Amino acid sequence: MGVLSASTSVVRLIAAPPARIQREALAAAVSRHAFREPDLELGDRRESSGWVGIHDPLVTELGPADLFVQHYLVVGFRWDLRAVPPKLLWLERRRLEAERCAERGVERLSAPERKEIKEEVAQRLMTRALPVPRLFDCIWNLDTGRVYFTGKVRAAREAFSECFRQTFGVVPVPLIPYLAAEHVGLDAQHVETLRAVEPASLVAEEAPRVRDDVPRLPLEPEEARE
């Protein structure tokens, strides 16, 4: 879901922009880490990801004109995930187990054999699984260092962070409340004070009730009270 969608998610991160913006060099770095279609016949890679044009996700050779809008660097991020449907894996595994049992005339296979079959079936099915692509936007404000990323899926965010680090040489750090405090205009002292606070309870503390009908220690013997 991109920033121009009717509804989008925004995760904010902070990444120090380069001291000197060299547009050609940044564009070349982005193109080096652009999305490449994986060879589905090879291996069992579950994920593939990389940069695409924000204006057109099929564009993977990106020049400065594709990336810079005013003081923003804008680029799309494609994240493909291949997964085997669990029910299909279960059915195919059962089919192979039944075949092996019939071949060997046994009723049940050993646990290591069943595990081996499961891995074998998962690998075979993975090579046939189609990737499910997801598209996100990355907007890097080169004046402030703020980054907007339009995805909340954790695995996609981690792939994005790694791709960003490899491309621009800086790790984008999520602006969680603890870190955001130093980016909203507070002085260093306020930030340090805030970081040291402990959780507060918003539940009013009840005043201790004094009950007259409950005996108190030390208990006096009855004769002493008479």
Supply the DSSP string of 100-139, one letter for each residue: HHHHHT-S---HHHHHHHHHHHHHHHHHHPPPEEEEEEEE
Nearer to another protein among residue 14 and residue 117 (C-beta): 14
CB of 203 to another protein, least distance (A): 6
CB of 164 to another protein, least distance (A): 13
Tokens of 140: 């890097």
Nearer to another protein among residue 118 and residue 183 (C-beta): 183
CB of 191 to another protein, least distance (A): 8
Nearer to another protein among residue 48 and residue 150 (C-beta): 150
CB of 148 to another protein, least distance (A): 7
Q: Cis ω on the peptide bond leading into residue 218 (within 30° of 0)? A: yes
Q: How many CB atoms lie within 10 A of CB 163?
A: 21
Nearer to another protein among residue 110 and residue 189 (C-beta): 189
Question: Residue 146: what are its φ and ψ, rounded to 5°?
Answer: -75, 140
Tokens of 197: 């606070």
Residue the block writes with tokens 């969680």:
176
Nearer to another protein among residue 4 and residue 91 (C-beta): 4
Interface ranges with another protein (CB under 8 A): 3-4, 6-12, 54-55, 69-70, 72, 74, 139, 148, 152, 158, 161, 173-178, 180-181, 183-186, 190-191, 193-195, 197, 199-204
* CA-to-CA separations, 211 to 126, 214, 222, in angstroms, rounded: 70, 6, 20
CB of 72 to another protein, least distance (A): 6
